[in-house]
Structures are given as structure tokens and as C-alpha cells.
Amino acid sequence: MVEYLQVELSDKVKSVVISDLLTESPAVIVQGEYGMSPTMQRYMKSQSVATGNTFGGLNSMNQAIMEINPTHPIVEQLEAMVKVDKESDETKDFATLLYDVAAMTSGYEVENPANFAKRVMSLMTTKAEKSGVKEAELVEKTEVELVE
């Protein structure tokens, strides 16, 4: 699992490690010894934009560490998905979504909000389909709630 995440998220994190400190969260993003905090990264980015420079290089040099909670149900689900088909788009999206949520809860910005939204919508659609709710029923129920 750790190896899979390291490969899949290699452009986003320096490494993936198992945490023994996490109890409720599936994952968290932390900075290494010399890394910049999310606040400092936003400041540097805004300064570079204000001066007309590009904000390149800092992100690749400042990759954070992803710590995962191996006993969390979301991580266990991802591990099961990796065992079944680690090359599927669904598994890759699930891994990236785990990273995105960990980044957001750790104070980082999601790099591509449109792709993040697509991953969330896909997960929601899959969940609705598995629960037996058809799209037409979902739309009808939503319309009724909006009228009330």
C-alpha cells in the first residue's frame, strides 16, 4: 500500500509513511525537516505573482510527507482496491482523493479544484448506484426537497 501510494503520488509527496499517531483521520500531510508550511507556501506564491515571477521550483523542492492511518476504513478500502486492480482509474482516483482530502485538512490548497470535484462526484455517483438509488429518483427527491 505504501509503495503504491508513493508511486501514484510521486509528483505530490516526497514519501508515504505509516503513522501510529493518527486515530480518526485516514491521512495527513506534514512537512519534512526543512519544508515550508502551507501558509508560507501561499505567501511565497502570492509574492511571486505580485512581482510577475513564476512560482516554479518551490513546489518540487518542497514536497511533503503523507502519513497514513493503516487501521482507518478508508485506507483499508483503498488497500483492498489496490489488491483487486491497482491500475484501474477508480483505484487511482481513490488514492488521489485520499491525498487531496489529507492536503485540505492539513492546510494545503487543492492543486486542481475541477479534477477534485470530478473525483468527488464520481465517488458520490458510485455510492448512490451501489445503494440502489437511481439517478431519476435522486433528482425527483432533490426537486421535492427544494420545493418544500
Q: What are 136-145's pLDDT values in tens digits?
A: 565 555 555 5
The number of distinct structural domains making up the chain is 1
pLDDT at site 57: 47
Q: Please check whether residue 118 lies inside any domain of the structure.
A: no
Find the CATH number of the domain harbouring 37.
1.20.120.790
Total length of the chain: 148
Dihedral (Cα; 67, 126, 112, 15), 10-degree rounding: 20
Q: Please check whether residue 13 lies inside any domain of the structure.
A: yes
Main-chain dihedrals φ then ψ at residue 19, nearest 5 degrees: -100, 140
Residues facing 13 on adjacent strands: 64
Q: Please check whether residue 15 lies inside any domain of the structure.
A: yes
* Distance from C-alpha of 51 to C-alpha of 5, rounded to nearest angstrom: 36
Q: Please check whether residue 133 lies inside any domain of the structure.
A: no
Of 145 and 7, the structure prediction assigns the larger pLDDT to 7
* Distance from C-alpha of 27 to C-alpha of 55, rounded to nearest angstrom: 27
Whole-model pTM: value is 0.72
